[in-house]
Amino acid sequence: MARQDWRARFDLVADDLRAALVWAADRPEQRTDAYDLARRLAELTFTRNLIGESQGRYEQAAALADDPAASASMLRQAAAVAGCRMHGDDMDRLHRAAADAARRSGDTAGAARDLATAAANAYRFSGKFVRKLPQQEAIALITQARELAGDDPAARAAVALAEAGRALADAMGAAQGPDDNGVPVTIARAERAVELAHRTGDPLAESAALDTLACAQSWAGDTFAAADTARRRITLLSSTPDTPACTHELIEALGEVTEADLGAGDLPGARRWARRLADHPLLAEVGHRATGWLLVADTFAGNLDEVLTGSVRFLDAWQRAGGPARSILGPPVAAVATIHGLCDDEDARREWSAVLHQLDSSPGNTYGYGAVFDAMLLLHRGQAPQALERMAPEPGQVWQWVTWIWLHWYVALRAEAAVLAGSPDARDRVAEARTVVAGNPVVTAIVERAQALLDKDQERLLATVDAFDAAGCRYQSLRTLVLAGGDHAGRGAAALADLGFAPMASAATPMMTSE
């Protein structure tokens, strides 16, 4: 039967199923049937992409189950659905409840997995939480899990993952960057978690461990290793079934691989993964989550129309969800605000900036992605000294906020700002940036352009046009033409105008002359 036909048939009988469940749930003699109906309705509504109802039905099934082991299973499913909905606090509550149910059933290893997963989730999905898990509470969860795990391989793997997450959080909290002596230990813990998870044969456990390893590699400054790990994770999940837990892990993996490719400068790859995420049917209820990274990728690429179209879905979904304050939503909002600025639509830019302030007032906005997007706009407007001031901190000073996606973009734009502002240390900044971004096609071209502007080497400058085009970055390609001056500037300016961008300010253009 076609999927569309299945949905139509489900919709025809759904209300009858719900009514039958209401009737059965109130009758003790029907409790077993009510449990079975609630479980099946939870599965059906999940497949039908009604994930809010699905979570509730799984919780209802857990309450109706006579067997605490069955209750624990239903609570784990409910936790996975909550993750798909970006409800981190529900995930935490449900995994703890599952641990209690598992202990009542005598499954101490299962309880250990649930407690360790609750701790690991607090680290892995911190952007989904309203209430941040206090460090001592996370340590207590890990300690309990370790005591219950025994020799069970899956429980030991879950505990190792939680310990790796804690080590990474401690390293990031110290904000000392890749030179911190704790970094090798953090990576070793993450690699150990991957090894133990792989031994269990559970792709979801291994995927979760790879997630933490990618974050540790990024923290170590190894952007390309992090991207490779993120892609490895996607491959691992490619053949998993459409269960709530598998779907939640896949959605998170798609987001991570998009972020990793953005950090490594693979814009076509980032857009491909982001499009797959945006089109995922299960995210219909959370369109702001679905479209977020596609907005970022399209902003870097300069796909103005796509950003303006996608931002409508993002904002509508976010408002319908009650305007949740999630730091993970900050980058796409900052990206949209930047696009409106590049179009010289100040009213729209102020509106999106107000949304950003409501969403995320963290240092990540101040020093990380916010600085990157602000610098892009300031450079377009010919305000290079202001862009340089916006990115005044050395990367090591703000490492926690520029690592992962933003490091390469930060150092490259900072180098270009130094050149265009006539900073006396511009040459040193360009040289340092080249070392950091080597292998990243987009930002290497930005650094090469900065070097060409510094040396007044027009041939070298124009060579970056092809590099930007090959990397899928049309905006930066046309920006190069404008910076080249003369006839090149006229062609670049006309093309930018055709795309809908405001003219680049004259203060940014007189660096080169046409041959």
- The tally of CA atoms less than 13 A away on the side-chain side of residue 87 is 19
Per-residue three-class SS string for 407-443: HHHHHHHHHHHHHHCCCCCHHHHHHHHHHHHCCCHHH
Domains 1-106 and 150-264 share a fold: yes
Q: What is the pLDDT of residue 3?
A: 54
Render pLDDT for 278-295 as a digit per residue (tens, 0 to 9): 999 888 878 888 899 999
- 208-247 tens-digit pLDDT: 999 999 999 998 889 999 999 999 999 999 889 989 999 9
Which pLDDT value is given to residue 443? 97
The class level of CATH for 1-106 reads mainly alpha
Q: What is the DSSP letter of 365?
A: I
Predicted confidence at residue 514, as pLDDT, reads: 41
Cβ within 8 Å of residue 147, ≥6 positions away: 112
Q: What is the pLDDT of residue 1?
A: 38
Q: What is the mean pLDDT of each run of 10 residues along the chain (515 residues)?
A: 64 82 85 91 90 94 95 97 90 97 97 96 86 89 96 96 90 63 82 96 96 92 95 94 92 95 96 94 84 96 96 93 83 97 97 91 85 97 96 92 92 97 96 96 97 95 96 96 94 96 72 47
| pLDDT on residue 507 | 47
Tell me what pLDDT residue 157 has: 97
Chain length of the chain: 515
Q: Note the pLDDT of residue 436.
A: 95
Q: Where are the domains of the chain?
A: 1-106, 150-264
Query: What is the three-state SS of 148-186?
Result: HHCCCHHHHHHHHHHHHHHHHHHHHHHCCHHHCCHHHHH
What architecture is the 150-264 domain classified under in CATH?
A: Alpha Horseshoe (1.25)
